[in-house]
Amino acid sequence: MLPQAAWRLDPSPAIWPDEVRVRVDRLNLDAASFRQLREASGGDPAAIRTAVLEIIASRGKMHNPVTGSGGMLTGIVAEAGGSSPLGLRPGDRIATLVSLSLTPLAVTDGLARWDGRSGQVPCAGHAILFGRSIAAVLPADLPVPLALAVLDVCGAPALTHRVVTAAVAGAGRGRPGPVVAVLGAAGKSGSRSAAAARRAGAGPIIGLVPDEREAALLRTAWRGARACDQVVIADARDPVAVAAAVSGAGGPADITIVCVDVPGCEGGAILATAQGGTVIFFSMATSFTAAALGAEGVAADVTMLVGNGYVPGHAQLALDLIRAEPSVKALFENRLGDRPGRRRQPGEDGDGRG
């Protein structure tokens, strides 16, 4: 059984030769998990803390049994086994890029320093990284919260970059780049996917957002950088509206990227995409059957990709993008300023996939 499917992991601190033990200093619960815990606890910080401690104690990992999700962590490498392939050394300050739902974890401080008001959880304890794990050494030139936010969803821009690059190569030299539509373009993964598409040689990029507030945010942030050539407003859950908006802005899209973290966006993405085109689903709210039967139901010959969160080099690409694109950095910093209790709107992406 793989560690995510297991109900309980063994969090004992001894490591095998291909493992790494990390001294944990912070958990970053994913947005869906924290929201569920807050709601189930009636917003009482002490009750949330108790709930998290009980999950970790009973499962050996911070794997929310209701949402199925986890989050990520940061810490300092304490010991690296001699045959660990991760390239980490004791003392490295790292963030894990695999979900907490499959990471053995023990907490020793009762989460005493956590106020229970956000998914950012200061903590003391240890975690084990397996041989086939992923971790990134945190860069010295970026604030930790910004670096964490960037790394949290770094699979999306990397896979976008790969797919757009292949489309550009397939079209041949001198041909216009593919039309790219990004649903949820003002969000964290959406904005960086747009920037990655631009960097990979995309043609016109159409950013779809749910309302004028998001559109203004996107237009302001992109000023100068113009990663999106067109900003359109539509409810991503309304297939006909999405198709019309993308079509009216130069679509249909050759490549459509779904970064809207609400259910029901499959049909719009499919209808907005040209025959022979590609849809990449990054949203964890995607329904496999809705995508498969939806495409079949409208005779859409589109390639549909499950947004794999892992692409080799994804962490480096994501950090490079944020350094190179002040506009994306500005959008991120804006997002980080959001209050945790603020109601999320359709069209925003969540705080990571874990």
Could you give the C-alpha distances from 22 to 15, 71, 271, in angstroms and in order? 11, 16, 46
Nearer of residues 48 and 149 to its own copies, judged by Cβ: 149
Rounded least distance, CB 244 to its own copies, Å: 14
Radius of gyration from C-alpha coordinates of the chain: 20
Cβ-based neighbours of 224, under 8 Å, separated by 6 or more = 326, 327
Instruction: Supply φ then ψ for residue 347, to 5 degrees.
Output: 110, -20
Residue 310: C-alpha distances to residues 136, 137, 153, 160, 301 (Å): 12, 16, 10, 12, 26
* Residue 33 or 327 with smaller CB distance to its own copies: 33
> CA–CA separation, 82 vs 243, rounded Å?
53
| Residues 6+ away with beta carbon under 8 Å from 152 | 28, 72, 188, 351, 352, 353, 354
Nearer to its own copies (CB atom), residue 203 or residue 352: 352
Binding site for its own copies (CB under 8 A): 1-5, 68, 97-99, 101-102, 132-134, 155, 238-240, 264, 267, 271, 281, 284, 286-312, 353-354
From the CB of 158, what's the least distance to its own copies, in Å?
10
CB of 334 to its own copies, least distance (A): 26
Find the shortest distance in angstroms from Cβ 103 to its own copies: 9
Minimum distance, C-beta of residue 309 to its own copies, in the bound complex (Å): 3
48 — phi, psi (to 5°)?
Answer: -65, -45
Residue 110 beta carbon to its own copies: minimum distance, rounded to whole angstroms: 28
- Tell me the three state secondary structure of residue 287: coil
**201: closest CA among 180, 186, 221?**
180
Closest separation between CB of residue 30 and its own copies, Å?
11
Closer CB to its own copies, 160 or 327, in the complex: 160
Q: Which is nearer to its own copies, 122 or 263 (CB)?
A: 263
Cβ-based nearer residue to its own copies, 163 or 215: 163
Least Å from the CB of residue 327 to its own copies: 27
Structure tokens at 34: 């924290």
Helix (H, G, I), strand (E, B) or coil at 232: strand
Tell me the DSSP string of 64-108.
-TTT---EEEEEEEEEE-TT-TT---TT-EEEE-S-GGGS-EEES
Nearer to its own copies, 111 or 135 (CB): 135
Question: For its own copies, which is the closer residue by CB, 296 or 338?
Answer: 296
